[in-house]
Amino acid sequence: MRELDSTMNRDGDAAERGGDTPSPLQKNERAAAQGLAVDLYKALAEGDRERLETLLHPRFAGRATEGLPLDLGGVYHGPDAMRRDFWGRISKHYQARAVPERFNWLDDGQLMVIGRYTGTARVGHGVLDAEFVHILSFSDGRIRQLAQLTDSERWRQALTPENGLRTVEFAVTDGIAVLRLNRPDQRNAIDQAMADDLYEVAQRCAARSDLRALVVMGNGSAFTVGGDITVFADTGPEELSTTLRRMATPYHEALRLFAELSTPVVTAVHGSVGGGGLGLVYCADVVLASHGTKFATGFTALGLSGDGGTSWYLPRLVGLRRAQALYLGRVLDAHEACEWGLISEVVAADQLEETALHRAAALAAGPTRAYAEIRTLLRKSGSSTLSEQLSAEIDALARTASTVDAARAVRSFITKSKPAFEGR
């Protein structure tokens, strides 16, 4: 933390070379100043040039992190230089936004903003996901200085993406993403590399604005048998706890991101689905299973309590008693899994992939904005009161009613024609 503080101080000192040091704000001025900061991030997200002109002080100075690609690092003197040479050049090479998460006032009267840059590079679509720290100073009711600290390497990697995936395959075509687990010789057992790869893919999906559906499948004889037991066996008892925590953390974050995507998810399983691998079933909207597929938690056989969101999803999907039975060793075949509500449909093995891709294509051609609202409503319904859910439905209904898709669908209904949805 001491190193971070010193870096920010150097950034602040460098920015101050653009003019006199602003005076610290009084406590009663801080609320208004923080409002200016919020407006800054909103104006940047919306590309509102006029608003930026009113927010930035005529003697504004900005300091960008050294080492950023495209020679973006350095000091920018004046609001025009910051807009044109920094933010303007970023918009030419990235489709990204700065999302503030925390605002903290420092003892010297400056405002520290902590958040993330998220988005993609315009060429190659490499994912940008980098934390930032901004130190803002204010003067005369405007933003006088901004000093930035961020991970320049993440910006560089987004411009020159490499697939970098070791245990999964991932591709996006015409807005439909296909993710395939790819450790066929290990029956797609989840190890550290796969947990990391799934998290990487989840971030890529979440960052894409053109994604309209995601299909999840597995190569080889099984969808996934869950955690890689060979890893557990090769780990000493005193290290197993740390190993499992390290593996489960990125995997669970991947599952959270998949569940919160604004596009439908179709998961197609075959062979075996076990342990934490069930998480990729839980987060899907449509789950197809081939005849003969077996489903089991398998946790207690290893003396473990389980992961993959099983304790949250199973009681909601199949009920408490059936969830207990699965935790305590019950194995389901595909038809039982469908009857219990764990999956959506059973299909012939030789039609599984084709059916999954066809289903995803049909969803991708639908009103994806409405699908996004529906995903959120259903996900939150279990923890909401009826009053909260009714209110949430009104808000979601209002948002979807203002979309182009809704207007087009209403006209098509009147004219008895088929609407063409665009997801906007």
Mean pLDDT on 262-267? 95
- Nearest CA among 265, 299, 302, 288 for reference residue 378: 265
For residues 25 and 138, is the Cβ–Cβ distance under 8 A? yes
Q: What gap in Å lies between CA 25 and CA 32, rounded to an integer? A: 10
Tens of pLDDT, residues 355-403: 999 999 999 988 888 888 888 888 888 888 898 889 888 888 888 888 8
Backbone φ and ψ for 369, nearest 5 degrees, come out as -65, -40
For residues 285 and 375, is the Cβ–Cβ distance under 8 A? yes
List the beta strands (DSSP E) in 320-391. Answer: 332-333, 345-347
Q: What gap in Å lies between CA 251 and CA 38, rounded to an integer? A: 33
pLDDT band per the 50, 70, 90 thresholds, residue 90:
very high
- Nearest CA among 184, 130, 145 for reference residue 40: 145
Distance of CA 297 to the CA centre of its chain: 26
Q: Say whether 405 sits in a helix, a strand or coil.
A: helix
Of 417 and 18, more confident: 417
Strands 111-121 and 127-139, sheet pairing? antiparallel
pLDDT surpasses 70 at 231: yes
pLDDT band per the 50, 70, 90 thresholds, residue 303:
confident
pLDDT at 23: 57
pLDDT band per the 50, 70, 90 thresholds, residue 1:
very low
pLDDT surpasses 90 at 421: no
For residues 111 and 22, is the Cβ–Cβ distance under 8 A? no
pLDDT surpasses 50 at 17: no
What whole-number percentage of the chain has pLDDT above 90?
58
pLDDT at 163: 61
- Residue 409 makes CB contacts below 8 A (sequence gap 6+) with 367, 419, 421
Strand partners, 147: 63, 135
pLDDT at 415: 79
- Nearest CA among 170, 83, 175, 96 for reference residue 128: 96
Q: What gap in Å lies between CA 328 and CA 322, rounded to an integer? A: 10
Backbone φ and ψ for 101, nearest 5 degrees, come out as -120, -35
Mean pLDDT on 28-51? 92
For residues 66 and 75, is the Cβ–Cβ distance under 8 A? no
pLDDT band per the 50, 70, 90 thresholds, residue 54:
very high
- Residue 38 makes CB contacts below 8 A (sequence gap 6+) with 100
Lowest mean pLDDT among 80-84, 120-124, 152-156, 233-237: 120-124
Q: Is 75 exposed, middle or buried (0-12, 13-18, 19+ CB in 10 A)?
A: middle
Lowest mean pLDDT among 133-142, 143-152, 259-268, 400-409: 400-409
- Residue 190 makes CB contacts below 8 A (sequence gap 6+) with 224, 226, 227, 228, 247, 251, 275, 276, 277
- Nearest CA among 93, 57, 54 for reference residue 72: 93
Round the average pLDDT of the chain to a whole number and report it.
87
In angstroms, the Cα distances linking 304 to 133, 209, 256, 295, 299 are 39, 39, 21, 17, 5
Please report where in the chains the tokens 């319904």 appear, as a residue: 381
pLDDT surpasses 80 at 131: yes
pLDDT at 123: 66
- Nearest CA among 324, 336, 342, 210 for reference residue 277: 342
pLDDT at 3: 34
Tens of pLDDT, residues 168-210: 988 888 889 999 999 999 999 999 999 999 999 999 999 888 8
Q: Say whether 14 sits in a helix, a strand or coil.
A: helix
- Nearest CA among 148, 140, 105 for reference residue 20: 140
Mean pLDDT on 25-43? 88
Q: What gap in Å lies between CA 357 and CA 345, rounded to an integer? A: 14
Mean pLDDT on 399-420? 78
For residues 11 and 147, is the Cβ–Cβ distance under 8 A? yes
Q: What gap in Å lies between CA 261 and CA 254, rounded to an integer? A: 11
pLDDT at 9: 41
pLDDT band per the 50, 70, 90 thresholds, residue 24:
low
For residue 46, which amino acid is it?
E
pLDDT surpasses 50 at 156: yes
Of 65 and 158, more confident: 65
Please report where in the chains the tokens 């040479």 appear, as a residue: 85
Please report where in the chains the tokens 């809704």 appear, as a residue: 406
Q: Say whether 31 sits in a helix, a strand or coil.
A: helix
| CA 338, 268, 194, 123 torsion-angle sign | negative
Tens of pLDDT, residues 314-362: 999 999 999 999 999 999 999 999 999 999 999 999 999 999 999 999 9
- Number of neighbours of residue 319 by Cβ within 10 angstroms: 13
Lowest mean pLDDT among 12-16, 86-90, 116-120: 12-16
pTM: 0.62
pLDDT at 322: 95
